[in-house]
A and B are shown apart, each in its own frame.
Chain A
């Protein structure tokens, strides 16, 4: 129902006081191997908030996935370049008509409690998502059936060719393989059992979740004995804890300090562009926003640099399309420059004056509230009065789905395939097309690209889509935020990922 894959609560922004604290007992570093690295130990990680629950199929909170990334597995998983690589499945093949995919699982897979993980568990997990219409059911839109002819073979039958099936099945842990008994006992919400590198150790509500190494893990054994996630909502506190040695890793850094931190070497702070994007949408079912000139006027009136600086302290890359620069599908196109005169002319052409625009934002994502105030001041310069409406997210979603808005700002997080970037949002029948954009040419291209198996042709089709969407100002794209994370000198082997997945399996902690 949301326009976000997970409800990333503005992890890097000086957000709310949402949740807990940075305490932790500090002495995470358990030094029995005196030779430095590979000494085991427990890594203390500070995350910005507390998971709402730990059922990967039901939660949509980023805080949950920060933990679950290390607990669960998917059939395939994205590598650092977001290309799909083997995970539980070692290989897969596709039938000639592209409608049957056959996956082969590893031998001897086990859940962390020692029980075997078989193809039946995969069938159970996918069926659960589809039948119970859970958050990620849309990822299975073209899936007709999932079967397990033998314990290590999974067959997925499709109703239409789906070139991005791997991204759908492995893009993130929301489609993880869960254990039936764990689901049925109801313990999955607090004591999930997965097959990943770590298993849940203990959970102190309001304070921390501790993971321990999973000895039944199929891959290389993690070097760490465990990971303890403490909930620290205040980024200044998280940074202080990192500097003071109480935690060794955090992604909750004060954004305004990141540029300076990146230049230093202790703690190590790195940032990479994420595949998230934030945008402004104008309701084309309402006048005068049905007029492309009005929408383009707004696009010209915005100073994206200023918006980005205010919302993210420069920790983002301005972009007029959706897909970020580091993606293979990036399409360089930036027709709008900050030009209030041009904007005023366009409004004149449209015969619009004295416009008052209702802009809906949500306190769930404070950066929308901040950005809205900047947007309001910029639109004021072209004679548009913006009334900002700050709602809580549930209410916001209701207003969005019933079309009661002139404009709203929000982000899409964690998309990988271009289909995820465009189809649901801009196809006239798209489930997230709440702003009622309709362009038959775009519809046709989106339908075509969805099943196009030739990668070159597919990329070209999406470039056409991107250009048209930008020209029509269906979404007015603003920026791709960076993912910034920091860790202490003791930590080695960690890598910041553009999809915000946090993986500790290859990390070692030195004294």
Chain B
């Protein structure tokens, strides 16, 4: 975040909603703003690192994630094991690195689900209004009535723990946010001159939605996606910490905390490093998301902290 306050910013920018292709300039502006925002730059750098580790983790990791060595269990950090070893003598650094992939995967897939479903719902609801709007949005209200983690836990409980169900559960939980953000955007775009013009020359609904509406609501969606990634990763970590996410021997940060909990008093590194990895990842997504929001979504259509689940 820059020195400017959010309030003054929104003052500057609420006016600029008219032009047909708003998003190009906006994106450019967003990128340049990111370049000049040290926090956002840091966040981006962390994310880039994360992606590299997520993709190439197994090759970069100093040792195999399932290299059990009982004689070296619970060793403190050292040159050969910078993050120490766990209760099976496995290298914690390697496991933290490889687990990055799981976190990213869960984040991307679940937010992907939420994005596709939520945006579709939001578009239909906002564009067609009427009973469809009512039905769809009441459904979203229903999902919204459950605390995030509670609903996710309930879904996982029913479908059975695992990577796939965790992704589905988190995806479902974050769908209503996207539906609401999209609908709000559509409602404001719908009445604008260029959309009315398109309607009057007989353009098809699909064409109008794809060519005119979507590009104009892209900005809040981008912001929402970035922020949701942070919460999705946090949710996955929480599920895994409850033993309901990724199952062993696959490493996941939350699961590592869960497995290491019995030993943290004698092996602090089992508690510190996986937790720090979650924190940094979420922080990075939040920093980038906040910076994007300051530029792209001055009206704050996006929903963020208030939906962050505690516990």
Contacts and interface: CB of A to CB of B under 8 A. Distances in A.
Do the two chains touch directly in the complex (Cβ atoms below 8 Å apart)?
Answer: yes
Contacts of A310: 68, 70, 73, 87-88
Given A369-B248, A370-B87, A370-B88, A14 B263 contact: yes
A388 B262 contact: no
A376 interface: yes
A17 B254 CA distance: 14
A342 interface: no
B243 A377 contact: no
B242 interface: yes
Given A363-B243, A388-B248, A392-B160, A254 B262 contact: yes
Contacts of A374: 68, 70, 88
Contact of A376 (B66, B243, B247): B66
B305 interface: no
Given A310-B88, A390-B247, A395-B160, A14 B262 contact: yes
Contact of A306 (B70, B160, B249, B261): B70
A315 to B, nearest CB: 13
A235 interface: yes
Interface string A35-54: 00000000000000000000
Interface in B17-68: 66-68
A234 B262 contact: yes
A373 interface: yes
A254 B263 CA distance: 8
A395 B161 CA distance: 11
A89 to B, nearest CB: 43
B262 to A, nearest CB: 2
A388 B258 CA distance: 18
Contacts of A363: 161, 243, 247
B261 A17 contact: yes
B266 to A, nearest CB: 7
Nearest to B249: A373
A392 B162 CA distance: 11
Contacts of B70: 306, 309-310, 374
A190 interface: no
A256 interface: yes
Contacts of B67: 377
B311 to A, nearest CB: 13
B263 A376 contact: no
A307 to B, nearest CB: 8
Interface in A229-245: 234-236
B266 A256 contact: yes
B75 to A, nearest CB: 13
Interface in B199-250: 242-243, 247-249
Contacts of B243: 16-17, 363
Contact of B68 (A14, A15, A257, A377): A377
Nearest to A375: B68
Interface string A1-39: 000000000000111110000000000000000000000
B14 interface: no
Interface string B264-298: 11100000000000000000000000000000000
Nearest to B258: A17
Contacts of A377: 66-68
Contacts of A370: 87-88
A14 B249 CA distance: 17
Nearest to A374: B68
B68 A234 contact: no
B248 A373 contact: yes
Contacts of A392: 160-161
Interface string A361-398: 00100000110111011000000000010101001000
Given A256-B266, A310-B73, A234 B66 contact: no
A25 B70 CA distance: 40
B93 to A, nearest CB: 18
A372 B68 CA distance: 11
Given A373-B68, A377-B66, A377-B68, A390 B262 contact: no
A236 B265 contact: yes
A17 B242 contact: yes
A376 B65 CA distance: 12
A302 to B, nearest CB: 12
Nearest to B162: A390
Interface in B60-118: 66-68, 70-71, 73-74, 87-88
Contacts of B74: 256
Contact of A373 (B73, B88, B242): B88
Contacts of A235: 262
B262 A236 contact: yes
B262 A373 contact: no
Which of B67, B249, B261, B265 is packed against the most chain A CB atoms within 10 Å? B249
A121 B212 CA distance: 81
A254 B66 CA distance: 24
Contacts of A390: 247-248
Contacts of A13: 262
Contacts of B264: 236
A376 B249 contact: yes
A387 B92 CA distance: 21
Contacts of A372: 249
B243 to A, nearest CB: 6
Contacts of B263: 14, 254, 256
B91 to A, nearest CB: 13
A416 B160 CA distance: 35
Nearest to A387: B249
Interface string A241-284: 00000000000001011000000000000000000000000000
B309 to A, nearest CB: 18
Interface in B103-142: none
Contacts of A236: 262, 264-265
Contacts of A395: 160
B215 to A, nearest CB: 45
Interface in A314-371: 363, 369-370
Q: A-B pairs with the 9 shortest C-beta distances?
A: A14-B262, A377-B68, A390-B247, A306-B70, A373-B249, A309-B70, A374-B68, A310-B70, A236-B265
Given A236-B264, A363-B243, A373-B68, 6 more contacts: A17-B243, A310-B68, A376-B249, A377-B66, A377-B67, A388-B248
Interface of A: 13-17, 234-236, 254, 256-257, 306, 309-310, 363, 369-370, 372-374, 376-377, 388, 390, 392, 395
19 contacts: A14-B261, A15-B262, A236-B262, A236-B264, A254-B262, A254-B263, A254-B265, A256-B262, A309-B70, A310-B68, A310-B87, A363-B161, A369-B248, A373-B66, A374-B88, A376-B66, A376-B249, A377-B67, A390-B248
